[in-house]
Amino acid sequence: MNDPKSPGSPIWSVSSKRTIVIIVLVLALLLFYRVNIVLLPLSLATILAYLITPLVNLITRTLRLPRLLVIATIYLALVIFIISIPVIAIPPLVNQINILVSNVPRYLAGVGNFFDDPIVLVEGYEIPVDDLPFDQIIRSLSENLVGIVQTLGGQTLAIFSSVATVTISTVGWLILIMIISFYMVKDHDHLFATVINLTPADYRADIRQLGEQISLTWNAFLRGQLVLCFVVGIIVYIAASILGLPNAGTLAIFAGFMELIPTFGPVLAAIPAIFLAIFQTESSWLGNIMSPFWFAVLVAGIYALIYQFENYVLVPRIIGYHLKLHPLVVLVGVIGGAAIAGVLGILLAAPVLASARIILRYIYSKLLDQPPFAQGHEVLEPVDTAVLPKLPLPLEKRLERAENEKNSVELEKK
């Protein structure tokens, strides 16, 4: 029988293995830094695949349809949905822009009217504004706006050219993201088996447990954020309609999108509503019976109540305990994420921090020789590698195994 260990291939020492691992990691980081342009599409493709995979599994298990057929159908529906968005959204958007441009003089007049009279805080106490140069400020603002409009009008061709370039680039990235996520969903089981098989046998149960906890975190965040965007948008729409604010639908959509930005999103969502409350009081039944200042305070208070309701009622029930992070930690993470990965870093700061906390807690427990999953989590049994999909062996290994089996049969015959 042949010796499975080839004498021509020396075994690496522990120090050699560590050195090779460090070198490979450093080279991988350098390569990743040089091609960081793929970070955004790869991250978006991973998120898309993560959102679609449970739906594929559910339909495949329930209807007993071929997995590839289900995946192709879902992606076809997604492509149709993406194509329909500009077709449906562009006409109303152009209409809203035209209305906004035509109302700019009225908005500026509203600003002037707001500062014509003293700001009444309470009866008998006013903030005088006669001595402040608001007329000059408004005149300067009007001149600047006219100049901007004239400049934009003279550069229409260049603007449309830039928009066309950005559109083509965006479509290209979307196609790439769809292709990457398609293969991630299609080969989900194979990719998982690859990670498990590359892990030392003694650590496969730990990797499985870590993967489960991190998966719960991202599942809670991604699906929870979608639900929060929808629910907060509906609440803002109802509140804006009751208050009589104009463009309640636009305010609701904006508030829903701002839910994706941690910490700063609710503040940004309230700014347009407060602006409308100050300068468009005649459009609201409530604004007609209140001073602009107090109407704006009321709107700000309503938004504050909405987001307090979200933080203390909606978030614990929709996202759960998986993302229990201190607001200061999230704030620092948002700033750091913006510096490292721009908009993507802002949007994913919270789940990345929560995932890092899980990994660091595991490392800390191992350093202190403590059970890493004893704190409120069920410890999984070691992974039975026999039930995992096996990756194809290299040709040399297969030939060696066949030779060993042949020798074993010959020995049994003797």
Q: For 348-372, what is the mean pLDDT?
A: 87
Calculate the average pLDDT of the chain: 75
Q: Are 49 and 184 in contact (CB under 8 A)?
A: yes
* Whole-angstrom distance, CA of residue 193 vs CA of residue 391: 8
* Whole-angstrom distance, CA of residue 43 vs CA of residue 38: 8
Identify the pLDDT of residue 168: 72
Contacts of 64 (CB under 8 A, 6+ apart): none
* Whole-angstrom distance, CA of residue 52 vs CA of residue 339: 29
Is 41's pLDDT higher than 70? yes
Q: Tell which residue, 246, 251, 293, 292, has the closest CA to residue 272.
A: 251
Neighbours of 246 (CB within 10 A): 15
pTM of the complete model: 0.62
Identify the pLDDT of residue 305: 93
Neighbours of 62 (CB within 10 A): 8
Q: Tell which residue, 365, 352, 306, 344, has the closest CA to residue 325.
A: 352
Contacts of 225 (CB under 8 A, 6+ apart): 259, 260, 319
* Whole-angstrom distance, CA of residue 147 vs CA of residue 143: 6
| Residue 121 φ/ψ, nearest 5 degrees | -85, -55
Lowest pLDDT segment from 49-53, 217-221, 313-317, 409-413: 409-413
Strand-pairing partners, residue 127, are 119
Question: pLDDT tens across 173-194, in order?
Answer: 888 888 999 998 888 878 878 8
Q: Tell which residue, 260, 255, 229, 228, has the closest CA to residue 350.
A: 260
327-347 vs 349-367: helix crossing angle, rounded to 10: 120
Identify the pLDDT of residue 236: 93
Question: pLDDT tens across 271-295, in order?
Answer: 988 888 877 666 677 767 777 778 8
* Whole-angstrom distance, CA of residue 139 vs CA of residue 143: 6
